[in-house]
Structure 1
Amino acid sequence: MKKAVSVNLAAIFVLLAGFSASVWALTDQQRAEMEERIKPAGQVCLEGDSSCGSASASSDGVGKSGEEIYSTYCLACHTTGAGGAPKIGDKAAWADRMSKGIGEVYANAINGINGMPPKGTCMSCSDGEIEATVDYIIEN
């Protein structure tokens, strides 16, 4: 019995050694591809932390347009009406909301309302960019 156990342990050791050697034998390209697959999806930036840079401005220093923000963050709900979102182009649905004034519509977009999260999940967007996005949706 003792001999069988030592043979089994030896076999396990050989398998583990072979496996661990194969992990260390990655090429630089394989290692880079693996690092790309497991890298974090984003980073957390706290308000007032200037070390994160400005996610709301593009590389040329100009903010994102209402159309860009709509296409990235708003399109899914405001095209389909998901969660009761007023559809882009639905004049009756938007007229009801506009009856409370554009300031109220801006506030709802910035702070969230019903199923819509604040800023429609575009937390890197400035309030002005969200207002431009609302204007884009209303104009279309």
Structure 2
Amino acid sequence: MSKCPWSDPEKIAALSRTEIGEQLAARVAAQLVADNGQAGIWQSHQSYCGHGLVFADGKICLVSVHDGDVLYGPRLLEWQQPDTFVIWLSRQSDFTLSGADRSVPELFTKSRFRRNNQRLTRAKLEHYVLDSAGR
């Protein structure tokens, strides 16, 4: 058994290539801005927590989360304008967000540990906007 079963070739091959789409991406962007750093999408536990999304310092930020600390982890990408984030996110899929797609260099990783490990997915994005609607 692999030390990183989440990044086994069979797991990666099974990831959806369906784009997130503009409607879901716009809902995520609007909710991130509304939450203003008080909420977002990230895992919160000890050590590596994958990728997260948060609105901080007037920008939507894709961050590498460590020890559940989304506001102080390395920012991988930042968007000043929500519209540019929506365009970018709408074109992603579970496969590209996993870090397995070499054609998306800003997300790609050679690390078997980080590939598909607690990354953003359509399911996480949908859960975020649905959960936010219930607040």
Same fold (TM over 0.5): no
More helix by share: 1
Question: Relative contact order, CA 8 A, sep 6+: which one is greater?
Answer: 2
TM-score by length of 1: 0.30
More strand by share: 2
Q: Looking at CA atoms only, which structure, 1 or 2, has the larger radius of gyration?
A: 1
